[in-house]
Structure 1
Amino acid sequence: MPDYPVLLQSHPECRPWQVRLFGLTLGLVTGADFVAVNMMGVAGAAIQGGVAAAPQEYLWALTSFAVGAVLVNLLLGRFATLISYRRYTEWSLLLFMIGSVAAALSDGIVSLALARLLQGLGGGGLFTASRILLQLVAQPKERKPLMYGFLLGLFSLSGISPWLSALLVEDWGWQAIFWLQAAFVPILLLLVQLSYPRHAGVPTRQQVGQLDWLAVVALGLGALLVLHTLEDLRFLRFSARPGMWLLLSAGLIMLLLAGWRLHVHPDPWLRLHAVLRRRYLMGLAFYALYYLCNGIWSYLLSALLQRGLGFDFVTTGSVITLGSMVTVVMALVYLYASRWLTRRHHMLAIGFAMLTLCCLWLAHASMPGAALASVLPAILLHGLVPVLSVLQIAAMTYAEVQVEDFAHAYQLKNILRELAAALGTGLATLQLQAGEAEARLALLGRLDGVTLRQNGILPDMANLAAWSARVSQQAVLIACDHAFLALGLLSGLAMLFALLQRDLR
């Protein structure tokens, strides 16, 4: 018998410090995936400018990561069967680092999109692998202590990254965003070596099923086409660009083909029939809503603070990190109090209501010269939204999922998460561009020679340049105001949906 408390019955060789470090490392590994996704919204303007990409071109950098993540989540069970989840995590981190280095060395949108594809193939499955591994090695009563470390690692790493990235960007340029992501990997690999159980995380053949390459290819290409066309949603008009409707239709047909082959396959590698129950489907819908809103919020907040209110990237990163630290603290408080919580769908509704309040607050604050103090309360308040929303969704969604089907359920959920997050950032990028262009035209229409003379402004180059900058800033503020109102409306509808639905309670 070991001379120390055994915290994992299936792995008595793991000492208490190793088990606690294991939970933290699972969260930090997952955080690498979240950082790669979130920083494309937080630092979107810096990255676009760095590779001289138009907003439509920038979509490829978002889409390519999501598609890589979709493909690797589809194949995750097969890889884990061959090499275990521990080895999969190590190899994926190395591929993620290669993709990060390639992104930092990119000199155009094509090379950046290819690098992001590598990042997606490496990092896109880390969340799924970490969460499934936790489920495999720990019995139900042993999981809650691990979850403290998991949530601490996940939210801390993804929260502190905007501030660290901003500090490095000041001296090293936009490439520092990806150099930082690459620098995380050696530390994470060391933690994996120290804390992960040596012989764990190998699913059975029965759990992973048989691989259907046609379905994998159809699902990957279908996701690419659908995601990229939906990101360009404002152009989806029958008369404007009919080619996009053809791409969207082709993508939907491929997704239907993949679904049909999974349905009729005698031993599918992703068992949809085992997990697609009413509670789980409702949970997926709320997951999609949350990550869609989160992708939109991340991009809009960064655009408002930097381009609208004129704060530098360091200030923006610091404020976003400050809001994320609220999430870290409240996530740990929530986990301690979770045993007494009931009626989680009410908390979910409160989470979306809080997001609506934050959006209305920032829309009201979108005025020239607004001080940081006028927007900081909304950013700090938003730190509660993940705790009140996505953690509640997670607690309710898997209640009826069988243990042997958990891996399939989590693979499907994370595929949807990657797609929804990329869609949200892509929509925000293009809708903000469209709103800014419309606002600029409206503002310029009011400025003519008579108006300038009435305001005592001489039409020389210096004055015209100053007025052009003011018009551009005002256009961004107007566009942000409208976008935040639209996001507030979406989250308000999600709040009503959470209260009225009967399946996720």
Structure 2
Amino acid sequence: MATTHSRLPRSSRQPNTDNSGYVRGSLKWAIALTASLGAILEVIDTSIVNVALNDIQATLGATVSEVGWIVTGYAIANVVLIPLSAWLGDVFGKKTYFIFSMAGFTAASVLCGLSVNLPMLVIARILQGLFGGGLLAKAQAILFETFPPAEQGVAQSVFGVGVIAGPAIGPTLGGYLTDTLGWRWIFFINLPIGIIAVIMAIMFLRPDPPQRKIARQKVDWLGIALLAIAIGSLQAFLEEGERDDWFASSLITTLAIAAAVGLILFIWRELSIKYPAVDLRVLRHRTLAAGSLYSGILGMGLYGALFAVPLFAQGVLGFSATQTGWLLAPGALASAIVMVLLGKISSKVDARLLIGTGAVGTTIVMFQLAQITPQSGTDDLFYPLLWRGATTVLMFLPLSLASLGSLPKQDVSAGSGFYNLTRQLGGSIGIAVLTTLLDRREAFHKAILLAKVTAFDPQTNQRLDTLTALFQNRGFDAATAHQQALAALKQLVNTQAAVLSYADIFRFVGVVFFCSLPLLLFLGKGGAKAKAPIAH
């Protein structure tokens, strides 16, 4: 197997490849577009369904907890498959596996749209997650194996546009389709795009070169089973924990134990056999190990913080799903623009400098968002969200290059799978932590505010009298006006408590990014001249 710096004999080279095995000419850009299209579909479908849950619940007659499994089932299946994508690509061939995943994802999307009841929809979403898990990591690995180091920045920027903008595009597109055509179209929209992506993959992706036939070796069924138990239980624990009050629930406690025990046994298993389902030995590369840890933090900021903004916009500001989507759109556009510009210079600048700049910038943005008030509107959120989109990119693209760019070619698929897994899990952990923190801090602030709102407080009585007079002027009798005034005062307290709790979680995310800066010391420089680290 050729490494990044090896030269292949002319007789062993494929058409349209250079001496090092990288693709030449316009074909490499067709491959980049094909791989990125599959990744974009997978990322968008992670968030596109969130704004349609109320409509799905009403159509299928499901409860709030039941409809949550539409999201949870997809997430669990997705994270279980991501680390297996390298092994599956070796068994079936990278091109074959990518086409299979893309076709399966498209078919599962149609099945979601045709679902007539909740169990059918949940099963279809699980299938979507299983097929989608093979798209994200495999797409990034294909790019690293297609482009030489000097062009990785531009290539990864094409891939990164979709991954970064996807969480913002999803709610925007989902809200529009749900409001205009109905929730089923958030799945049907994948059909034409998926068909185009499959055709492009068949036309442009390179045939798999001769390689070690892992398919002939004994399949690590035990490793696969332990992975499913460990990662599946962890994802379910994160998705359902807050809803069931964490360890107050026996189910959540069981999931936590299963995740911990399964993870320990999985690591032992994969390190003790010759042909593991997931090659954990790839973490011997220090840059990948540190980058994967940082990727988890980035996932928390990318998905976790972005998850809080729609909640604030809809819950406090009263925005519709479509309005919330448009609120996030400028940030997504900023991400795309900065990603393209960064792709041209990332190979010439130390990745750690760019990542550090992005982390500090994101910290500042989070503290800006923490200045929100009940009177905050679109104008107050526009620039912070715009800068959030730009600063996040400064971490995403250089981190990918610093973590994966120096790996030998034979380790890229396994490294990419692990790297993308940590980002996905980081997002899940971030959402779980921020949801819990939001709930606890809102209760805390409400208790503090209510302690001051008493019948003996002059300001409270003055506000109550003003509200009562206001409702009387609207035609209510004295008793009804007083009840309306009390309800309005309660709503003011609830709104203020919610705003203060959102400010707390924005500050929390900012502090986390600032505290992550020491990890930069363990990352590589990235760029075109990066060399594979020595295995220890």
Shared fold, TM over 0.5:
yes
Which interval holds the TM-score relative to the shorter structure?
0.7 to 0.9
Conserved? CA contact 1:288–1:416, under 8 Å:
yes
Letter in 1 for 2:354: M
Correspondence 1:85 to 2:97: no
Conserved? CA contact 1:210–1:269, under 8 Å:
no
Q: For residues 462 and 390 of structure 1, do their structure 2 counterparts lie closer, same or farther at Cα, with a shift above 3 Å needed?
A: farther
- Superposition pairs of residues 202-217 of structure 1, within 5 angstroms: 204-205=212-213, 210-217=218-225
Q: Which residue of 2 aligns with 1:418?
A: 424
Between 1:90-99 and 1:8-17, the stretch displaced more is 8-17
- Which runs of 5 or more structure 1 residues have no equivalent in the other structure? 1-5
Question: CA deviation digits over 1:268-326, x for unaligned, max 9?
Answer: 23221232443322211111111122222222111112221122222221221221111
Question: CA deviation digits over 1:2-59, x for unaligned, max 9?
Answer: xxxx964389998844432221222121111111123355666666676676665555
Conserved? CA contact 1:212–1:268, under 8 Å:
yes
- Superposition pairs of residues 381-396 of structure 1, within 5 angstroms: 381-396=387-402
Normalised to the residue count of structure 2, the TM-score between the two structures is 0.79
Separation of aligned partners in 2, 1:148 and 1:107 = 40
SS of the aligned residue for 1:384 comes to: helix
Between 1:381-390 and 1:272-281, the stretch displaced more is 272-281
Letter in 2 for 1:170: D
Separation of aligned partners in 1, 2:404 and 2:372 = 39
Q: For residues 36 and 461 of structure 1, do their structure 2 counterparts lie closer, same or farther at Cα, with a shift above 3 Å needed?
A: farther
**RMSD, matched Cα:** 3.8
Correspondence 1:492 to 2:500: no
Q: Which residue of 2 aligns with 1:100?
A: 109
Conserved? CA contact 2:233–2:255, under 8 Å:
yes
Conserved? CA contact 1:8–1:14, under 8 Å:
yes
Letter in 2 for 1:363: A
Letter in 2 for 1:410: S
Separation of aligned partners in 1, 2:163 and 2:398 = 16
Letter in 2 for 1:32: L
Instruction: Report how far residue 146 of structure 1 moved.
Output: 3.8
Q: Which residue of 1 aligns with 2:143?
A: 134
Instruction: Report how far residue 182 of structure 1 moved.
Output: 4.1
Separation of aligned partners in 1, 2:380 and 2:408 = 48
Q: Which residue of 2 aligns with 1:3?
A: none
Conserved? CA contact 1:274–1:405, under 8 Å:
yes
Q: For residues 277 and 361 of structure 1, do their structure 2 counterparts lie closer, same or farther at Cα, with a shift above 3 Å needed?
A: same
- Superposition pairs of residues 398-417 of structure 1, within 5 angstroms: 398=404, 400-417=406-423
Conserved? CA contact 2:450–2:493, under 8 Å:
no
The counterpart of 2:70, out of the listed 61, 82, 85, is 61
The counterpart of 2:359, out of the listed 343, 352, 361, is 352
Conserved? CA contact 2:34–2:197, under 8 Å:
yes
Letter in 2 for 1:325: L
Letter in 1 for 2:294: F
Letter in 1 for 2:326: S
Q: Which residue of 2 aligns with 1:281?
A: 289
Q: For residues 397 and 41 of structure 1, do their structure 2 counterparts lie closer, same or farther at Cα, with a shift above 3 Å needed?
A: farther
Between 1:354-363 and 1:302-311, the stretch displaced more is 354-363
Separation of aligned partners in 2, 1:174 and 1:439 = 36
Letter in 2 for 1:250: A
Correspondence 1:327 to 2:331: no
Separation of aligned partners in 2, 1:245 and 1:328 = 41
SS of the aligned residue for 1:9 comes to: coil
Question: CA deviation digits over 1:406-447, x for unaligned, max 9?
Answer: 211112222223322233334445554565567678778849
Question: CA deviation digits over 1:434-484, x for unaligned, max 9?
Answer: 655676787788498977556324577799679758856863663354244
Between 1:45-54 and 1:348-357, the stretch displaced more is 45-54
Separation of aligned partners in 2, 1:21 and 1:195 = 6
Correspondence 1:255 to 2:274: no
The counterpart of 2:198, out of the listed 165, 174, 189, is 189
Separation of aligned partners in 2, 1:52 and 1:217 = 34
Q: For residues 227 and 466 of structure 1, do their structure 2 counterparts lie closer, same or farther at Cα, with a shift above 3 Å needed?
A: farther
Q: Which residue of 1 aligns with 2:189?
A: 180
Question: CA deviation digits over 1:121-180, x for unaligned, max 9?
Answer: 111120111122223344445655544543455556665444333322221233333333
Q: For residues 323 and 438 of structure 1, do their structure 2 counterparts lie closer, same or farther at Cα, with a shift above 3 Å needed?
A: same
Instruction: Report how far residue 391 of structure 1 moved.
Output: 1.6
Letter in 1 for 2:135: L
Correspondence 1:373 to 2:385: no
Between 1:50-59 and 1:477-486, the stretch displaced more is 50-59
Correspondence 1:502 to 2:507: no
Correspondence 1:270 to 2:278: yes
SS of the aligned residue for 2:521 comes to: coil
Separation of aligned partners in 2, 1:439 and 1:85 = 53
Conserved? CA contact 2:233–2:256, under 8 Å:
yes
Q: Which residue of 2 aligns with 1:300?
A: 308
Separation of aligned partners in 2, 1:129 and 1:100 = 20
Letter in 2 for 1:37: T
Correspondence 1:478 to 2:485: no
Separation of aligned partners in 2, 1:125 and 1:192 = 14
Q: Which residue of 1 aligns with 2:467?
A: 455
Q: For residues 501 and 25 of structure 1, do their structure 2 counterparts lie closer, same or farther at Cα, with a shift above 3 Å needed?
A: closer
Conserved? CA contact 1:362–1:378, under 8 Å:
yes
Between 1:59-68 and 1:431-440, the stretch displaced more is 431-440
Separation of aligned partners in 2, 1:477 and 1:310 = 14
Conserved? CA contact 1:296–1:428, under 8 Å:
yes
Letter in 2 for 1:350: T
Separation of aligned partners in 1, 2:390 and 2:196 = 29
Q: Which residue of 1 aligns with 2:344?
A: 336
* Percent identity for Structure 1 against Structure 2: 20
The counterpart of 2:318, out of the listed 287, 310, 323, is 310
The counterpart of 1:167, out of the listed 169, 176, 179, is 176
* Structure with bigger gyration radius: 2
Letter in 2 for 1:394: S
Q: Which residue of 1 aligns with 2:5?
A: none
Q: Which residue of 2 aligns with 1:291?
A: 299
- Superposition pairs of residues 140-159 of structure 1, within 5 angstroms: 140-141=149-150, 143=152, 146-147=155-156, 149-152=158-161
Separation of aligned partners in 2, 1:46 and 1:345 = 44
Q: Which residue of 2 aligns with 1:32?
A: 41
Conserved? CA contact 2:153–2:342, under 8 Å:
no
The counterpart of 2:80, out of the listed 42, 59, 71, is 71
SS of the aligned residue for 1:247 comes to: helix
Question: CA deviation digits over 1:363-416, x for unaligned, max 9?
Answer: 322414x33111101111111133111222212223553321221111222222
Q: For residues 76 and 365 of structure 1, do their structure 2 counterparts lie closer, same or farther at Cα, with a shift above 3 Å needed?
A: same
